[in-house]
Amino acid sequence: MKYGYFDDLKKEYVITNPLTPLPWINYLGNNGYYGLISHSGGGYTFYQDAKLRRLTRYRYNNVPKESGGRYYYICDGKETFNPGYFPLENKLDEYSTRHGLGYTVITSVKNNLKVVVTYFIPLNDNVEIHKVIVENLSNENKNIKIYGLTEWALWNAVDDQTNFQRNLNIGEVEVTEQTIFHKTEYRERRNHFAYYHVNQKISGFDTNRDQFLGAYKGYDKPEVVLSRKSKNSITYGGSPIASLEVSLDLKPNEKKELVYQLGYFENKENSKFDKKGFINKRNVLKQIEKYEDIDYVNQEFKKLNTFWNETLSKYEISSSEEKLDRMVNIWHQYQCMVTFNMSRSASFFESGTGRGMGFRDSCQDILGFVHMIPDKARQRIIDLASIQFKDGSTYHQYQPLTKRGNADIGGGFNDDPLWLIGAASAYLKETGDFSILKEMVPFNNVVEDSDTLLNHLRKSIDYTLNNLGPHGLPLIGRADWNDCLNLNCYSTNPGESFQTTENIQSKAESVFIAGMFVQYGREYIEICEKLNLLNEAKRIEEKVLQMEKSVIDHGWDGKWFLRAYDANYNKVGSAENKEGKIYIEPQGFCTMALIGGSEYAKKALMSAKKYLENDYGMELLYPPYSKYYLELGEISSYPPGQKENGSVFCHNNPWVVIGFTKIKDGENAYALYTKNAPAFIEDKSDIHKTEPYVYSQTISGRSSKTYGEAKNSFLTGTASWAFVAVSQHILGVRPDFDGLIIDPVLPKHLDNITVKRVFRNKIFNIQIIRDKKMNQQLVVDGKKQKDNILIKLNNKQKVYEITKYII
């Protein structure tokens, strides 16, 4: 069942039924000021950090599902409705929500009154714009009232939801003409405030939630709206809101436009107040005045559209497969931008109060983002390296507002350091900018204790080499990529964190990290060779060969790669095990690295296909664990088929896709890619439940009672890896240190594909044509190349016309 459709021309997903299985969301903003918005206008807004600078309140895991957002109540005679259907749930004559790139448009018609609300955040200001157009479609005059509403959060999202003995005593606002200013804690240590404004004379306002709703009432029956009369309440403590009432007269077929602003502003510490002790509004009024002008608002919206069109134009394809084009040209890259901005911090499933920016997460997010805005990727790499310790280990997370490591969870996840090499390598290949390696970067954000980024990478490599187990394989630490495989935890206490608890000496080993070391060790070697650091390259080359041998000798189970050795040196992910016989992660990374060559890769991939594949991709392990295993940790705490215990963990499916391309198996690579690529499974939305335009982290596996149901949408490493898999390995257009590689591995039904790739400020127009007679020839500007894969760059040439022939 579908709840809408793709509009590829406008790069939008159009929702036509408001009763989606879950709130289907979009993201606003791109430069530090962000909003999450659902198809009904639910969600919240924050500045830089969803935990420390939460502007508006949203209630997670709530009943009903949506509670909190930017709501507009429309009163037309006896009729009252929300353009987004919720929270009133009054039936609409027409409804649609268009989730576009950085904006959302909600349109509805009720009683011959059409309302269109466009939500977006301009590129360069900390203000969320709500452009409201009301149109009288009838032949009679209408007198309507609009109540715009949002509920303020008290900045720190954790405190806001817990510390009520303080919170209910600190709320403060100021109201001036058409603006409500939220200034809780401004009187003390904060120099920032928020505001809600409309470019129309108001007929009333409210800032006290209890006064607006009425006793024991919710947003579905607000007293002020139902009575058609604001109370002009000023909150003093309590729960502050912002409600602005506007009265409009509409003649037949008349249309009027309003602009609401939800903004954030900071004053300098020495100029916080005016002479009367109120907020100094001199500078914020300049921002407010700009967006009172409808023409200016429309101009900024066009700039936003131009930004996204230019950003996504760096990689475009045209093929015979509409769904493939849709994913590559629009939704893959859009989701990569969102994950780069958010990491795993704020979504419908992530509350924004805990994780901040993950180290491994953000490193991987760079892989699918770097081609779009390389400068931002460069800065992110430096930020990540700045939370590394001198021994090469890293904090596992950091807060985006402070850029400081999160001490609550600390470090000890032994895969983390190697991801930094993957991210840096991707940046170097994309840009050719080796100057980043000379950047002085602090350890643990201590400026006095800095070293070059290159030496940070060296310490990442050496951290793995200094932490090897008895089989010559890397020690896993608290966990590797799979946070729930806690082989040193041995937790028996309910509520104890699996990730931060180690009850025995760290002895467990990870075959997965070994695969990472081989893959990224080779990339580190290439970096060293480019810098003429031949002794360092040789040193690591020997270590990579040793690691390969350790994997073959101790990490190969006969038909697939083992997952690990537990703390008692027992095999994990082996045919010898009763449960959890085979895991996906090492089959992906070890075949990407071609450990043991194509022969081992083919066996491992076919085993993965045999045991792990279902209708939605490959499950993380098989068979799932039926009970809690003390020696395995959190992975066995989930019911079978859920999350890490045997769901389709979409993140590592692309590793297997890339593995198939390494052995030139385009059929299996593409088939696996399409099993969970959103556009290919849109018609299963009633089962899948999450948004049909973006990837989710997990899809319940065959052993689950909710087989096919997805969770944790939008913020997942699947975004980057799926884009890398399809763009760089199936379509085969990928950056290299020495130029651009064209090496497609396509299924038989796909041929005659056109790819446009912007690479190092040059345009590559690529035709991929199936012609066995041409023997995989590469033709550049009409000339056959000696190298059938790599295109080396000419500094003066700006446009390249390329034909790549495939068999």
Q: Which residue, chain included where needed, has tokens 């959302």?
A: 104
Instruction: State the Cα angle at 82 between 63 and 62, rounded to 5°.
Output: 10
CB contact at 8 A, 215 and 241 = no
Amino acid, single-letter form, for residue 46:
F
Say how far apart CA 197 and CA 175 lie, in whole Å.
Answer: 10
The contacts of residue 336 (CB under 8 Å, 6+ apart) are: 365, 368, 369, 372, 719, 720, 723
Q: Is the peptide bond before 623 cis (omega within 30 degrees of 0)?
A: yes
Instruction: State the Cα angle at 49 between 343 and 697, rounded to 5°.
Output: 25
- Of 741, 744, 739, 706, nearest to 725 by C-alpha is 744
Sign of the dihedral through C-alpha 678, 681, 687, 693: positive
DSSP annotation of 473: P
Taking residue 542's Cβ as centre, other Cβ atoms within 10 Å add up to 10
Give Dmax (Cα) for the chain. Answer: 85
CB contact at 8 A, 591 and 599 = no
Say how far apart CA 420 and CA 383 lie, in whole Å.
Answer: 11
DSSP annotation of 443: E
Q: Which residues pair with 243 in a beta bridge?
A: 149, 206
- Of 367, 378, 509, nearest to 434 by C-alpha is 378
The contacts of residue 140 (CB under 8 Å, 6+ apart) are: 252
- How would you classify the pairing of strands 54-56 and 564-565? unpaired
- Of 370, 369, 372, 341, nearest to 356 by C-alpha is 341
**Token reading at 35:** 């909003």
- How would you classify the pairing of strands 762-770 and 799-806? parallel
The contacts of residue 439 (CB under 8 Å, 6+ apart) are: 382, 452, 453
Query: What count of residues does the chain have?
Result: 807
CB contact at 8 A, 23 and 60 = no
Say how far apart CA 407 and CA 409 lie, in whole Å.
Answer: 5
Strands, E assignment, 678-729: 696-699, 710-713
Q: Which of 125, 160, 483, 743 is an active site residue?
A: 483
**Mapping DSSP to helix (H, G, I), strand (E, B) and coil, where does residue 312 land?**
helix
DSSP annotation of 644: T
Would you list the DSSP string of 40-104?
A: TSBEEEEES-TTTSEEE---TT-SSS---B-EEEEEETTEEE-TT-TTT----SEEEEEE-SSEE
Does 483 participate in catalysis according to the annotation?
yes
Q: How many CA atoms lie within 13 A of 697 on its CB side?
A: 18
**Mapping DSSP to helix (H, G, I), strand (E, B) and coil, where does residue 244 land?**
strand
**Token reading at 630:** 């003390």
Active site members: 483
